[in-house]
Amino acid sequence: MSLEDLYQRIRHEINKVIYGQDEVINFALAALFSSGHALLEGPPGTAKTLLVRTIASVLDMQYRRVQMTPDLLPNDITGSSIYREDARDFEFKPGPIFTNFLLADEVNRASARTQSAMLEAMQELGVTHDGVRHPLPEPFITFATQNPIEQEGTYPLPLAQLDRFMFKVIVSYPESTQEERILKEHHATGSLSNPDEMGVTAIIQASELLEARSLIRQTHVRDEVINYVQRLLHATRVDDALAVGASPRAGLMLMMGAKSLARFAGRDFVTPDDIKTAMIPSMRHRVVLSPSAELEGIRADDVLANLLDVVEVPR
């Protein structure tokens, strides 16, 4: 089965539960197939958690969910030592982060210390406890959800920690026709929709995901497209509306995301349009607006969209 066919089968399963969120699903799957993590931001009730649970149901892998709360401690996620009377020694008890697929729900409600511990484990793909490193299972994917940072009781993720996520995807309200379908299909569940009960079946195993990731890394990117990415990165650093521009790592994440989009479309090469499509979700959480731009109510998405208009696209 080709990667394009696998992508279409996964989309079909997800669409049994999630309606009207095509862009969100695309970038969630692009992160999944690109060895990246994804951050989904949107108001409560827009199916962020349900989307991640549905993706987890499509994967024949271990899945765990952590509800991030202000009283959650780092060890509650990464693990702790317990004393074994029979061995007369301490034994490491892995936390919920030791899984293939982790859902960190409402990540910006946890304290900065707990956020940092989780995101460090995501970056290092392991946990160090009492001087011993414990690697995370492979593959390991984290999907985090968060409410808009203006809401009460949230702790904004620092820029260095946001950088752990390949994409930041904005989950908005559905269009009227899709919302009507949601009301029609889900009203009998009492807002407790279960992907498994709605016919979602697991169709991809860990080995298949690892093979797909290897294939995506081999996707060809011609020199003109690489130069285009570099010019976009440079443009973010000299724009007066941005106090902090995009880093080289941001460029690498952008290219990996574009490779996934190319494969989803059945191509083994990246086009400038793939770069343009992946640009804003890859960059919106990695750039910082200047104080004057913030005062004027300009959004990072607006600045990035303008750069896509002014930076010359290769033929």
Which is nearest to 288 in space by CA: 194, 160, 173, 189? 160
For every residue of 122-147, DSSP letters joined together read HHHTEEEETTEEEEPPSS-EEEEEE-
pLDDT tens digits for range 229-286: 999 999 999 999 999 999 999 999 999 999 999 999 999 999 999 999 999 999 999 9
Specify the pLDDT at position 231. 97
Specify the pLDDT at position 257. 95
Specify the pLDDT at position 15. 86
Mind listing the domains of the chain with CATH numbers?
3-212 (3.40.50.300), 219-310 (1.10.8.80)
Specify the pLDDT at position 248. 93
Specify the pLDDT at position 153. 62
pTM metric for this prediction: 0.88
pLDDT range class, residue 188, cuts 50, 70, 90: low
Specify the pLDDT at position 189. 62
Cα(87)–Cα(220) distance, rounded to whole angstroms? 54
Cα(277)–Cα(26) distance, rounded to whole angstroms? 11
Cα(286)–Cα(256) distance, rounded to whole angstroms? 16
Which is nearest to 166 in space by CA: 313, 12, 45, 285? 285
27: left (phi over 0), alpha (psi -120 to 50) or beta: alpha
Q: Which of 28-42, 74-88, 128-142 has the highest mean pLDDT?
A: 28-42
- Is 106 in contact with 146 (CB distance < 8 Å)? yes
Specify the pLDDT at position 190. 56
Q: Which amino acid is at 261?
A: L
Instruction: State the chain's mean pLDDT as an integer.
Output: 88
pLDDT tens digits for range 31-53: 999 989 999 998 887 888 888 88
Specify the pLDDT at position 249. 92
Residues counted in the chain: 315
Task: Pick the more confident residue, 157 or 296.
Answer: 296
Question: Is it the case that residue 191 has pLDDT exceeding 60?
Answer: no
Q: Average pLDDT in the 110-123 region?
A: 86
pLDDT range class, residue 298, cuts 50, 70, 90: very high
The structure tokens listed for 123 are: 């970056």
Question: Is it the case that residue 123 has pLDDT exceeding 70?
Answer: yes
Give backbone dihedrals phi and psi of 179, rounded to 5 degrees, phi first: -65, -40
Specify the pLDDT at position 262. 96
Specify the pLDDT at position 305. 96
The structure tokens listed for 288 are: 């910082």
